[in-house]
């Protein structure tokens, strides 16, 4: 019996391999979330990032958050930490529209967690990368 993948030239990733498009960095920096609840009321929360990448971020909040999956939120780092060289360039720009794609219940530390997918226009991301590259070479 011939398997479908035998004729394929694409390498099959091992089960434990990293399938992410961009590398995550473990960083704990203060940030803010803003969203509208189901009644249209503006809500805000102070959070702390746990890890960040060019396309997403995982945040923790000391109190329980009532943000459902796929809710759109505005994510932004606190202004005093945006100058860090370790941050991905796109996170230094201010507010970023994001979608909640995973909700973690409070763990042993009592913090609720949210995984956010950053909704960034690819043209904007390229422009930010080029601007950062120009500053780095200047």
Give tens-digit pLDDT for 97-131: 999 999 988 878 778 899 999 998 777 767 767 77
Residue 8 maps to a domain: no
Check which CATH number belongs to the domain holding 55 and give it.
2.40.10.220
The answer to whether 70 touches 100, Cβ cutoff 8 Å, is: yes
Q: Structural domain tally of the chain?
A: 1
Residue 114 maps to a domain: yes
Residue 13 maps to a domain: no
In this prediction the pTM is: 0.75
Residues in the chain: 138
Residue 5 maps to a domain: no
Q: State the residue range of the domain holding 35.
A: 21-137
Residue 14 maps to a domain: no
DSSP 14: P
pLDDT reported for residue 1: 47
pLDDT band at 13 (very low <50, low <70, confident <90, very high): low
Q: What region, left, alpha or beta, does residue 89 occupy, with left being phi > 0 and alpha being psi -120 to 50 degrees?
A: alpha
């Amino acid at each position: 019996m011939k398997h479908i993948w035998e004729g394929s030239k694409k390498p099959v990733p091992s089960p434990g391999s990293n399938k992410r498009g961009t590398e995550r960095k473990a960083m704990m920096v203060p940030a803010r979330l803003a969203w509208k609840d189901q009644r249209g009321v503006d809500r805000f929360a102070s959070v702390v990032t746990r890890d960040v990448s060019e396309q997403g971020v995982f945040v923790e909040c000391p109190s329980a958050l009532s943000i459902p999956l796929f809710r759109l939120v505005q994510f932004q780092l606190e202004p005093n930490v945006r100058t860090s060289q370790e941050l991905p360039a796109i996170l230094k720009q201010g507010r970023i529209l994001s979608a909640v794609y995973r909700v973690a219940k409070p763990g042993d530390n009592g913090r609720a967690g949210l995984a956010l997918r950053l909704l960034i226009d690819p043209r904007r991301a390229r422009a930010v990368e080029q601007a950062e590259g120009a500053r780095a070479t200047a």
